[in-house]
Amino acid sequence: MPNLMMRFLISSGLFILLISCKTYEVPNATKLESNQKKFQNSYFSDSVKDYVYKANIEVYGKQLGGVFVAKKINDTLHRAVLTTDFGNTLLDFEVSENSFKVNYCVEGLNKKIVLNTLKKDFRLVFREKYSVEEVFENQTHTIFKTKKGNHFNYLFENKSNKRLTKLLYTNKTKEKVVISFEGKNTTFAEKINIEHKNIKLKIELNQITN
């Protein structure tokens, strides 16, 4: 009986170890032989254009709505402002690959975990150039895997129209953030959804047209 229990404990431990060591894989995707080393994200890349959206944000059970405006300031920097429908500023920040500056933030959003999360999210959304490590495909998309520190990004490019439709941000084992894009061309995403898997934060941006 003690030997049986010991074998059971050893088997259970090995099973847990194997599960914990399993690396993340995109479902139903196969690896491609590819020489592509760069991926270019053209959304938010025009410094002349103001990118204006109706914003809906759900953060830890609270609902926020308003107008979100993003602007490319230079080759590395974007500025984004969230206001109420009446024009009162809720959040004003500047973000690049190596910097993050909050110009203004209302008390309800002014929490370190929220601001750090927004910084990471919009670095992904605004980033134009990604260094590709591996390339995969499924029936509808070519998938570019990139690495940043201990995390990975998977960029899904639609095969038929070459538009970026989804970005997965993962650690070694699971998805952390899913960002989806919808648009009629490769340069303007008319709808953006950001959904977190481990915290209660969702952001929906819908283009405002004149």
Residue 199 banded pLDDT, cuts 50, 70, 90: confident
Is the confidence at residue 107, as pLDDT, over 50? yes
How many degrees, rounded to 5, is the angle at CA 177 between CA 21 and CA 175? 20
| Residue 157 contacts residue 163 (beta carbons within 8 Å) | yes
Residue 23 banded pLDDT, cuts 50, 70, 90: confident
What would you report as the CA-atom Rg of the chain, rounded to the nearest whole angstrom?
A: 20
Provide the whole-model pTM: 0.86
pLDDT, one tens digit per residue, over 59-85 is 877 888 899 999 999 988 999 999 999
- For residue 18, what pLDDT is reported? 45
What CATH number does the domain located at 24-207 have?
A: 2.50.20
| Amino acid at site 94 | E
> Which residues have a Cβ under 8 Å from the Cβ of 128 and sit 6 or more positions away?
40, 41, 42, 44, 45
Residue 12 banded pLDDT, cuts 50, 70, 90: low
Three-state secondary-structure class, residue 109:
coil
- Burial label for 80, CB within 10 Å (0-12, 13-18, 19+), is buried
| Amino acid at site 36 | Q
Residue 168 banded pLDDT, cuts 50, 70, 90: very high
Nearest C-alpha neighbor of 122 from the set 149, 143, 100: 100
Three-state secondary-structure class, residue 89:
strand
Query: What token pair was written down for 131?
Result: 């260094």
- DSSP 8-state secondary structure symbol assigned to residue 86: T
| Amino acid at site 152 | F
- DSSP 8-state secondary structure symbol assigned to residue 28: T
Lowest mean pLDDT across 21-30, 101-110, 124-133, 172-181: 21-30
Annotated domain spans of the chain? 24-207
| Residue 187 contacts residue 170 (beta carbons within 8 Å) | no
User: Which of 17 and 114 is assigned the larger pLDDT?
Assistant: 114
Nearest-angstrom CA–CA distance, 133 and 144: 8
Checking DSSP bridges between strand 129-137 and strand 50-59, what pairing results, if any? Answer: unpaired
| Residue 149 contacts residue 131 (beta carbons within 8 Å) | no
- For residue 3, what pLDDT is reported? 58
